[in-house]
Amino acid sequence: MCAATPERVIAYIDGFNLYFGLRSKGFQRYYWLNLQAMVENLIRPHQRLVTTKYFTARISGPHPTDKPEDARKMEEKRRRQADFLEAVGTLPGVSIYYGHYIGGIMQCRNCKHTWPDHEEKMTDVNIATEMLVDSFEHRYDTALLISADSDLVPAIRGIKKLFPAKRIVVFFPPGRLSAQLKFVADEQFTIGRGTLAKSQFPDQIIKPDGHVLMRPEKWR
């Protein structure tokens, strides 16, 4: 008797949603996260991971109006993210999709005090687009979505309407939840600390060209 064909899975990771979930729980030690290993640790034995798609935006440099201390912290944050993205780039089964990271000035309506602020754009649109295109191209049987962004609900509803046999499984980042996503998903779970702990990059990654990437000290 022939073995059953493995169920094909594509994972879609909302990078900033995952990051802020980890931050909200004080899980800085898990920021050096091997995304491919994490997804492999989430799927089931009868499933086969086709690819992992990671959606993020590169942090821009300090804003001209930033105070020196804030500018230094922003630059350090940018460098840590750059090292992480370079580490993710070593994973053969992961593709990175970039949105925009926009800096601007916020103002209090009452006192008119202003302060620099930063905002990530396009991630939800990019995720929705990729999920829909992959559905039409029949590239997966199950979509594994790591996010708690309810803006993705319309895309999921559209997929379920057009392709009712396809399953959408949502994994909420730690400290994150969406009642709307729970309602439209076939299954929903929360990523546990144990999964994060066993899905870390080694402290030192040696790239094929000999360049060495190190886990940032702040993430130890």
Which pLDDT band holds residue 105 (cuts at 50, 70, 90)? very low
Angle at 219 between CA 190 and CA 209, to 5 degrees: 105
* Domain layout of the chain by residue ranges: 7-219
Q: C-alpha distances in angstroms, 139 versus 32, 126, 132, 159, 175?
A: 29, 17, 10, 13, 31
Q: C-alpha distances in angstroms, 87 versus 33, 35, 109, 148?
A: 9, 10, 42, 24
Average pLDDT of every residue of the chain: 90
Q: How many CB atoms lie within 10 A of CB 143?
A: 27
**Does CATH number 3.40.50.1010 belong to domain 7-219?**
yes
How many whole angstroms separate alpha carbon 124 and alpha carbon 150?
9
Per residue in 170-208, pLDDT tens?
999 999 999 999 999 999 999 999 999 999 999 999 999
Which of 44, 37, 76 shows the shortest CA–CA distance to 59?
Answer: 76
- SS3 readout for 75-91: HHHHHHHHHHHHHHCCC
Reading phi first (left if > 0) and then psi (alpha if -120 to 50, else beta), residue 85 is in alpha
Question: For residue 1, what pLDDT is reported?
Answer: 44
Q: What's the pTM?
A: 0.90
